[in-house]
Amino acid sequence: MEDTIVAVSTAMGLGAISIIRLSGPEAIKIVNKIFRGKDLTKVASHTINYGHIVDGDEIVDEVLVSIMLAPKTYTTEDVVEINTHGGIAATNKVLELCLINGARLATKGEFTKRAFLAGRIDLTQAEAVQDIITSSTDKSLSLFVNQLTGSLKKLIIKLRKDIVGILANIEVNIDYPEYEDAPVVTIASLKQALIPIKEELENLVKESKNAKIIKDGINIAIIGRPNVGKSSLLNKLLEEEKAIVTDIAGTTRDLVEGSVIFKGIKLNFIDTAGIRDSDDIVESIGIKKSIDSVDKSNLTILVLNSNEQLNKDDFKLLDMIKNKTHIVFINKNDLPLKINTENLQDFNVCYGNTISDDGINSLKDKISDLFALEAIKPIDNIYLTNSRQNSLIKLAIKEIDHALDSLNKEVPVDLVEIDIKNAWNYLGELIGATYKDELIDELFSNFCLGK
């Protein structure tokens, strides 16, 4: 018998509610122990129950508990979901109580793994399990199991049709070498056919990145050693753009300090060890916290004081961001420049200050350039919603690249076809197409062959 696992299953996004999910034979029993309300062992399956999570006599949070009995659940086991709304502290407390009462913390992707082993999801999806397991923590299951949007599916089907047309053309040249009906596939004609397909796929990846930016905004970490003006920069940015969300630190489990809308895109400023206080914090702690926040961000802004020479800590921070998307903001440019800029040659630098509106425009322009915000169209239906889709598209692009490369080396077309077929298969996997004699059908519908 499997043990019972538990995890916080909501993404580390902006939502106020978080869900703690349990799966396994003991799931209901465990939650019942810490729940004040109805007796959960007696409620009907697929019901939502109101009550409180308690730690002894102390109320931890007001919650809604969903009870789903085996086998009609994601994992086919008994599944309980606790919807809390008390922020990170309460969430962590509920999780802890579940653990104390006999649940085991789930490993990454374990719910999905169970779903797969129970035959609940198929092999194609299961391949993505590995993706989930190895990818970052905040991938929620909903991202992974979600269905393809209609327009994406249509696009992929169209691209596959284009590719199968190319394949059929190559095949017909092979199987009927003496028939003139089929246009001869040359290196040049093949390249010409492949490049637009590659471009569409690349666009899709790019658009999807944009779609994610539109949906979730850009997470920005502001780091720097004490007294360089991080908090005044943050305040300026938030105040400048009329902050729409300003969560009070400690009351929410996500780390967003505040968000602003800039050119239609949400910029989320990630709490950097409490930027507001950090100017007083012990340096070593500051750096450790910085590492965390840099990992969680899409963009890191390192603030330096124009008027001070770079010290050991600055170099550490510079080293930390050099392979990340970053901006080095040289603050206080109203004061004389004492930084040796030769050290900043490989960095994306901008100068400014926080005392005037103009002072941070340079920074805002830089952000805009970096993410090409002007070019992002706010409505775009076609995008990839999960890492499985993303990686399959990238694999398909890689195969086409290999094909183009081989064509440049004058590898015979029928060998290059192996790459093209692989690309076709990857796209097929994306839309869950089973293997059919599509190719053979295409061959005979498009060409006039026979004896």
CA 401 to chain centre: 25
Q: Which one of the spans 45-53, 168-176, 256-264, 379-387 is the region binding another protein (CB under 8 A)? A: 168-176
Q: Which is nearer to another protein, 165 or 264 (CB)?
A: 165
- Separation of alpha carbons 270 and 199, rounded Å: 34
Q: Give CA torsion, residues 434, 435, 438, 441, to 10 deg.
A: -120
DSSP 65: E
Cβ of residue 113: shortest distance to another protein, in angstroms? 12
Judged by CB, which is closer to another protein: 144, or 371? 144
Q: How far is the CB of 391 from another protein (least distance, A)?
A: 17
Residue given tokens 């690309």 in the structure block: 423
H/E run at residue 81: strand 79-84
Among the residue ranges 44-52, 174-182, 210-218, 302-310, the one whose residues contact another protein (CB under 8 A): 174-182
Please list the alpha-helical segments (H only) found in 118-241: 123-134, 141-145, 150-175, 187-216, 230-240
Span 419-438, contacts to another protein by CB under 8 A: 421-422, 432, 434-437
Identified binder of another protein from the candidate list 16, 48, 337, 415, rule CB under 8 A: 415
Per DSSP, which regions of 386-432 are E strands? none
Three-class SS of residue 268?
strand
Complex with another protein: residue 126 or 355, whichever CB lies closer: 126
What are residue 104's DSSP bridge partners? 5
* Contact status, residue 79 vs residue 22, Cβ threshold 8 Å: yes
Closest contact distance (angstroms) between CB of 143 and another protein is: 20
Q: How far is the CB of 81 from another protein (least distance, A)?
A: 24
Stretch near another protein under the rule CB under 8 A, chosen from 88-96, 219-227, 297-305, 413-421: 413-421
Burial bucket for residue 329 (CB in 10 Å: 0-12, 13-18, 19+): buried
Using CB under 8 A, which of 265, 327, 393, 443 touches another protein? 443
Q: Nearer Cβ to another protein, position 184 or 244?
A: 184
* Smallest gap from residue 135 Cβ to another protein (A): 22
| Rounded Cα gap, residues 343 and 324, in angstroms | 17
Helices (H), 241-334: 275-278, 283-296, 312-321
Beta carbon nearer to another protein, 179 or 315: 179
Say which amino acid occupies 410: E
> Is residue 1 a contact point for another protein (CB under 8 A)?
no
Q: Which is nearer to another protein, 337 or 415 (CB)?
A: 415
In the set 52, 101, 176, 187, which binds another protein (CB under 8 A)? 176
CB 257 within 8 A of CB 245: no
- Helix/strand number for the chain, H first, E second: 15, 13
| Least distance between another protein and beta carbon 149 (Å) | 20
Q: How far apart are alpha carbons 396 and 204 in whole angstroms?
A: 12
DSSP state of 257: E
Candidate segments 94-102, 248-256, 351-359, 407-415, binder of another protein by CB under 8 A: 407-415
Binding residues for another protein, total number by CB under 8 A: 43
Give the largest Cα separation in the chain, rounded.
Answer: 87
Report in angstroms how near the CB of residue 356 gets to another protein at its nearest: 59
Q: Which of residues 109-148 bind another protein (CB under 8 A)?
A: 116-119, 121-124, 126
The correct pick among 174, 244, 249, 261 for binding another protein (CB under 8 A) is 174
232: nearest Cα among 198, 176, 276: 276
Q: Which of 150, 196, 264, 412 binds another protein (CB under 8 A)?
A: 412
Of the two residues 334 and 405, which places its CB atom closer to another protein in the complex?
Answer: 405
By CB under 8 A, name the binding residues for another protein.
116-119, 121-124, 126, 167, 171, 173-181, 409-415, 418, 421-422, 432, 434-437, 439-440, 443-444, 448-451
